[in-house]
Each structure stands twice: as C-alpha cells, then as structure tokens.
Amino acid sequence: MSKFITILRSVQTELGSDFRAAYIIAPGGEILAKLNEIPSRANSFSNANLAGVFKLVDDLKASLRAGPFEEALVTLTNGYILTISLPGNAGYLSLVVRRKEALDLAKLLAKEFASEVANLINSDYGKK
C-alpha cells in the first residue's frame, strides 16, 4: 500500500462515517492518490474535472495577483469539499465529508497531514 493511501486511510478512520472521499492532487491537477466511497460514475466525473478546476485556480490567482491559494470550501446539498494547498506549492489535499459538523475535524486533519504529503510528493517516492 502506498504511503499516500496510508495517510488517506488515517484521515478516513478519524472522520469515521462522515468520510466520503480524499484526494491528493499535484499542482497541475493530476490525482496522485484517492480513497473514496463515491459511486464510480460520480468518481470518474470528479477525476475528469479536477485538473480543470485547479488550472482555473492557478490562472485566477496569477491574473488577480491575489497571493497564494490557501483553502477552498465547496458546499453541496449532501456534503462539503474542503481543499487546502500543500506547503511549497506541492499540490492540494481535498477531503469530502458528509456533515457540516465534520468540517472542523477535516480542516484539522488536512493541516496535520499537509507537510507529510508535501514531503512525499517532493521525494523520489512521490515522483514514481
């Protein structure tokens, strides 16, 4: 099992039944690792569109000179997507949770694992 998946499983365990999905994403939008409970059809749609979303974020922050991307929260009818930027522009960590009450824990976990994920992406291991 990859080290990325080990980290995502730790997040899943901590969030319990509120966990829906977790993604580790390269700066250009490539999904490096994912762990999810989302049906495969919705999952493929998400994968296809993540690269475009993160490309748009990069273009907007450059054109607006708004500074670095820190985090984004997307509110859905049946859940929330929290995405944080990893240290050193290494990429992004996205967590999908079911309930609003789980957002604080999701944010805490994302920040807790951010440096470890960034280090893996930047290491020889992460580039394989």
Write the CATH number for 13: 3.30.450.30
Q: What is the pLDDT of residue 59?
A: 75
Q: What is the pLDDT of residue 123?
A: 86
Q: What is the pLDDT of residue 18?
A: 94
User: What average pLDDT score do residues 11-24 get?
Assistant: 94
pTM: 0.81
Evaluate if residue 39 carries a pLDDT over 80. no
Q: What is the pLDDT of residue 95?
A: 94
Q: What is the pLDDT of residue 54?
A: 65
Evaluate if residue 125 carries a pLDDT over 50. no
Evaluate if residue 42 carries a pLDDT over 70. no
Say what percent of the chain tops pLDDT 70: 80
What three-state secondary structure class fits 84? Answer: strand
Average pLDDT, the chain: 83
Indicate the angle between helix axes 103-122 and 3-15, nearest 10 degrees. 170
Residue numbers of the domain that contains 37: 3-127
Domain count, the chain: 1
Per-residue model confidence as pLDDT tens digits over 55-100: 677 677 778 777 777 888 888 888 899 999 899 889 899 999 998 8
Strands (E), the chain: 19-25, 31-36, 71-76, 79-85, 92-97
Evaluate if residue 112 carries a pLDDT over 90. yes
Which residues pair with residue 91 across a beta bridge?
Answer: none
